[in-house]
Chain A
Amino acid sequence: MSTSNYATERETTEGRVFTVTGGDWDDVVSGVDPINEGRIVVNMGPQHPSTHGVLRLVLELEGETVREARSVIGYLHTGIEKNLEYRNWVQGSTFVTRMDYLAPIFNETAYSLAVEKLLGITDDVTERANTIRVLMMELNRISSHLVWVATTGMELGAISIMLYGFREREYILEIFELITGLRMNHAYVRPGGVAQDVPDEAIVKIREFLKMMPKRLKEYEDLLSGQPIWLERTKNVAVLDVTGCVALGVTGPVLRSAGLAWDLRKTMPYCGYETYEFDVPTHSDGDVWGRYLVRMAEMRESLKLVEQALDRLKPGPVMVADKKIAWPAQLAIGVDGMGNSLEHVAKIMGQSMESLIHHFKLVTEGFRVPPGQVYVGIESPRGELGVHAVSDGGTRPYRVHYREPSFVNLQALPAMAEGGLIADVIAGGASLDPVMGGCDR
């Protein structure tokens, strides 16, 4: 073994380890005989572009075959759950929306449903608020799946689908910006309802989207579904059957691609999903191809749901009537984002002292939530997104835990990757659709 100037080597219990700081790779590995020494350990990530953020995979390779795969996470841990305990219940929406940044509306809705259940006001949430939630969630599901098909396409070598997917996602983000004031991290769905009503121009834009999107989905399928390389890279790759999925806790499109039609919108409905008409697409192969088909079909189902939600959007309040909880409904979008509406400011500053006191108390103190604990699960684009919220009767959450589908699903990666080729690690990992912001929280 020649010791290079660029790499230091040392013996560890795991074997010989090189620390590479640049230079000629051939020099570094010249002392290693890949045929006789057998296995090499490769660190994929945490900055590998194909690992969806900062996921690190430690792969033990024998030639091109993966013998062992271990995922290392935590690089994006930001302590959101701990931080929540130091803010009041409403401020929590602003934190949780930043977890899974591709599905912010789902994080907010799950949190709001949990707080509402703790408060016992689940049935008081207005019909319009629920319809808006469904509308926003389904648009968000489409945008999330679009990013999935875009990034997965790119990782498997189809660059055009990446550009198209992000283009259509951008359209949805514009709708979100019209409604919430922000493209991402909306803090729009709040305990008790939503922050403010949907403006008319957003409805027009969503209608246009509904007209445009089926054609676009057809284009994506024309690009991918018959494409020999795409078929080669996805069919019979990273197979996981129903038993494996349930044992490893994998839910969402991955579970449905294995054949079990488990969708919380159907099996344990919330926000009035039981009153909508939609199907739960499944596939039987449990491979990357099946997951692709399921996600494409789910986007079509989401379009149906968006259309139904638009049709039943009747005028009405978007926040519960209880004024002890309902402060955030007096918000409006200004030039610098969302804030208190001008009428509201004029009222509390100019007309009503009681309103000012009330506003001050709700903003500084917040509302109290009776002690207890609840668990709420909703169907996010990645699977069951669960919120376990505990209150001790105070104005702040005592504990909020997110059951993040990205976190749980990533456990399945070794089961999918081991024994396969290294190239299929990328396909398998991508098919789980992990978002590290959600995974590490």
Chain B
Amino acid sequence: MTDSKPTTGGVPIPVTPAGATSGAPAELPPSSPAGRGMFGNQGSGDVSGFGGLVRPRPTRTDSPRPYGGYFDEVHDALEEAYPAFGEAIEQVVVDRGELTLHIRPERIAEVCQVLRDDPALRFELCSSVSGVDYLGADARRLHVVYQLTSMTYRRRIRLEAAVTAEDPHLPSVTSVYPTADWQERETYDMFGVVFDGHPALTRILMPDDWEGHPQRKDYPLGGVPVEYKGAEIPPPDKRRSYQ
């Protein structure tokens, strides 16, 4: 770790990483998520000649009809039951046997309501709510991902809603799925997504006075170097590694 200072015992104590307390870290993280170079670190004598390599980010595209399996049924049933379907659904992606509906963030609660209540859909269980930070790949980098399960039809679908880091607001689905309560709190805690209408949107895993949102890609891991048999082993986020 470069920004560490040795102490009397010879054990280096790292300076707190910039983003750990301010919540406003560097533009791009020093390691892997940037997708740059061969080993993901800069300035450590990368002689591989691949230092300027930039891996292209995958772009997602609409899947063509028919989607296969029950996906067409779900798609059509939702279209029939939800009048604002055309406006609310941004994209339909079928990948690896899973259906993902990309929803406009402001519509997410309405869509969930229809998905839960319509007799042809019946997604009664919200299995999971979490986030993914697509920093550098998507202008609306914070994606909230909902995994819905229909116990009646034994089906699963995924909803995805993307918001920007500057205006990370979308409606809470807790009125539809009470189980989303803690999961939305976790998503807020880890990604800083604000769920409007949530009964008590507070941090849940991190301490209440924590600053920053740790699962964002520009939030450093904050690893500490360790000494092993006289050599200093850098923390995992500072090591050379293929990406």
Residues of A within 8 A of B (CB): 73-74, 77, 79, 81-83, 85-88, 117-118, 120, 246-251, 260, 262, 267-268, 364-366, 371-375, 377, 384, 386, 388, 390, 392-396, 398-399, 401, 403, 407-408, 410-411, 440-441
Interchain Cβ contacts under 8 Å between A and B, 7 examples = A81-B215, A88-B241, A268-B154, A375-B156, A393-B58, A394-B55, A401-B130
Ranked 6 nearest A-B pairs via Cβ: A249-B179, A403-B128, A371-B58, A401-B130, A365-B242, A74-B205
Would A407 and B182 be within 8 Å (CB), given that A393-B55, A401-B130 are in contact? yes
| Nearest B-chain residue to A440, judged by Cβ | B205
Given A74-B205, A364-B242, A403-B147, also A386-B154 (CB < 8 A): no
Residues of A with C-beta under 8 A to B158: 373, 375
Q: Which stretch in B4-12, B27-35, B45-53, B83-91 binds the other chain? A: B27-35
- A86 and B31 contact, Cβ closer than 8 Å, known pairs A411-B182, A440-B205: yes
On whether the beta carbons of A386 and B128 are closer than 8 Å, the reply is yes
Q: Which residues of B contact A77 (CB under 8 A)?
A: 205-206
User: Which of B32, B95, B204 is A85 in contact with, Cβ under 8 Å?
Assistant: B32
Minimal beta-carbon separation of B22 from chain A (angstroms)? 18
Tell me, in angstroms, the Cα distance from A151 to B32 when the chains sit together.
43
Known: A83-B236, A388-B130. 6 other contacts (CB 8 A): A267-B154, A268-B154, A373-B158, A375-B128, A401-B145, A403-B147
Given contacts A74-B205, A386-B147, A392-B58, contact A86 B221 (CB under 8 A): yes
Q: Is B127 an interface residue (CB 8 A)?
A: yes
Interchain CB contact under 8 A, B57 and A117:
no
A403 to B127, Cβ gap below 8 A?
Answer: yes
Q: Give the distance in Å from the alpha carbon of A372 to the alpha carbon of B134 in the complex.
A: 12
Kindly list chain A residues whose C-beta atoms are within 8 Å of the C-beta of B203.
74
Q: In the complex, are the beta carbons of A247 and B179 less than 8 A apart? A: yes
Cβ of A355 to closest chain B Cβ, rounded Å? 19
B147 near A408: Cβ-Cβ < 8 Å: no
CB distance from B241 to the nearest CB of A (A): 8
B165 to chain A, nearest CB (A): 16
List chain B residues, Cβ under 8 A from A117. 96-97
Q: Are B204 and A73 touching (Cβ within 8 A)?
A: yes
Q: Do residues B147 and A375 form an inter-chain contact, with CB atoms below 8 A?
A: yes
B132 contact from A87, A399, A408, Cβ within 8 A: A399
Q: How far is the CB of B3 from chain A (nearest CB, A)?
A: 17
Give bound CA distance, A401 to B160, whole Å: 14
Given contacts A246-B125, A268-B154, A371-B58, contact A74 B98 (CB under 8 A): no
Q: Is the CB of A374 within 8 A of B128?
A: no
Closest A residue to B137 by beta carbon equals A392
The 8 A CB mask of B81-124 against A (1 = contact, 0 = none) is 00000000000000111101000000000000000000000001
Mark contacts of B121-153 with chain A using CB atoms, 8 A cut-off: 1 yes-contact digit, 0 otherwise.
Answer: 000111110111100010000000101010100
B182 interface neighbour in A118, A371, A390, A408, Cβ under 8 Å: A408
Is B67 interfacial (CB-CB < 8 Å)?
Answer: no
Contact of B154 with A384 in the complex, beta carbons under 8 Å: no
Q: Which of B145, B149, B221 meets A82, CB within 8 Å?
A: B221
- Contact between B243 and A395, CB atoms less than 8 A apart: yes
| B14 CB–A CB distance under 8 Å | no
> How distant is the Cα of A384 from the Cα of B223 in the complex, in angstroms?
32
Q: Is the CB of A392 within 8 A of B35?
A: yes
Min distance, Cβ A398 to any Cβ of chain B, angstroms: 7
Q: Among the interface residues A77, A87, A375, A392, which one has the most CB atoms of the partner chain B within 10 A?
A: A375
Least distance between B101 CB and chain A CB atoms (Å): 13
